[in-house]
Structure 1
C-alpha cells in the first residue's frame, strides 16, 4: 500500500471456497462471493442449482463441508419458506422478534408493515394470511433490526404488482443507506437494478455485471 493511501473497506460479506454435498451428491463445489456495503447482488441459477443451500450457509443456519464465511455487521435472513407461528398475530410476531433482538419499540416494524401495505392484517393470525401476506411478514421480520447484510431467498414470491414495486423501493433505500443485499432467484426480470449478477452453475459462482447480459434471462 502506498504511503498515505486509504485501505480498501472490509467487505460486508465474503464467502470463500464453499463446498457442500448431500450424501454423494455435491451441490456446491468451491463457491466464492464477495459483497460490499451498499451493493445489491443477485445469485441466479436453475432450480436445484443449490441457491437456497448457499444462502443457508451464508446465513449460518447450515454448516459447509468446507470453506469460510465472514460477515461484517448485523445479519438479516429471509428464507424462501416463511418461519411463522400460525397462532400468533402479525403484531405479536413483531413484538416477539423485537424482544429477541432487544429492540426498543416497534416503530421500524410498523413502518415496514405500512411500506409493504399489509397494516390491515396486524391483528390477524399468521395461519389465516394469504401466501403473499405471509411473505410480507417474513420480509418484515428479517428487516426489523435494520441489518447491515440482508439475505433474501425468492423474496417477492406471491407479491402482487404494487407490492413488488414497493419491495424495490425498499431495496433502493437499503442500498442508499449502505446495506449489502443478496437476492437469490431463478429468474431476473429487471437486471439493471443489480450491481452484480452471479450465476450459480455446477456448484460454482460466476460473477458478471448486469449490463454485460441485458438479454441473458428470457432470451
Structure 2
C-alpha cells in the first residue's frame, strides 16, 4: 500500500496535512498518536470508507479492516456472522476463521449472540471477520482494546504469523509502549507523520 500527500479537513479544521507512507509486504507497522490526532480518519481513508480532501492511496491484493468502533449485528450469533461473511467473501470454508478464533480464544462463544458478548470478545469477533479471507493488507484501529493480557499477547503472536507469511499489517494505537513489537513506528503529530526508528530487523 502506498499513500501520497493525503490531506483531510472537517470543514475548516485540517486533520491530515500531507501524509506519505509506504507499507511493505512482510512488515508490522504502527502509527502512534494521541486521541484526536487523526489516526482513525487516516485509517478510514486507507480502507476506502472516507474520501481524502487531497492525495492518493494505492494498494494491491485483498485487504482487511478492523475499525475502532466494532460493527456487529447484536441479534446474530458468532457463527451466523461467520456464515454471512463467508458468503460475502465467497469462501469455500471457514478454516481460516477457525484458525484465528483458536488463537484468540473465541471458539467457545460460537453460539453466543453478539449483543451479549463483552467488549473484548466483540473485538475478537471483529478481528476474526477482518482476517477470515486471508487479506494481503490488514488495517487495524486500536485492535486490542478490551483484551485481557493473555489475549493481548495472542494478538501479537498472530501479527507475527501474518508478517512471517508476507502480509502487511498496519496497527493504529495511542499506546506508545507497543512500538517495541513493530518493524516500523511512526508518530502522527499535527496532521503529519514523523518517522520513528526501526525497532526490529
Gaps of 5+ in 1: 1-12, 213-219
Q: Shift of the alpha carbon at 1:188?
A: 2.5
Is 2:133 the partner of 1:150? no
Q: Shift of the alpha carbon at 1:207?
A: 1.6
* Alignment deviations for residues 73-101 of structure 1 (CA, whole Å, 9 cap, x no partner): 10100000111000000001001011100
The equivalent residue for 2:184 is 196
Q: Shift of the alpha carbon at 1:210?
A: 4.1
Give the 4+ runs in structure 1 shifted more than 3 A: none
Q: Shift of the alpha carbon at 1:192?
A: 2.2
Is 2:17 the partner of 1:33? no
Mapping of residues 172-187 of structure 1, within 5 Å: 172-187=160-175
Q: Shift of the alpha carbon at 1:149?
A: 0.3
The equivalent residue for 2:54 is 66
CA distance change for structure 1 residues 140 and 188 in 2, over 3 Å: closer, same or farther?
A: same
The equivalent residue for 1:137 is 125
The equivalent residue for 1:168 is 156
Aligned with residue 117 of structure 1, among 101, 105, 119:
105
The equivalent residue for 1:127 is 115
Gaps of 5+ in 2: none
Residues 195, 209 of structure 1: 8 Å contact kept: no
* Cα distance in 2 for residues equivalent to 1:195 and 1:107: 28
Bigger Rg, structure 1 or 2: 1
Q: How many residues align?
A: 200
The equivalent residue for 1:87 is 75
TM-align CA RMSD:
1.1
Aligned with residue 20 of structure 1, among 3, 8, 33:
8
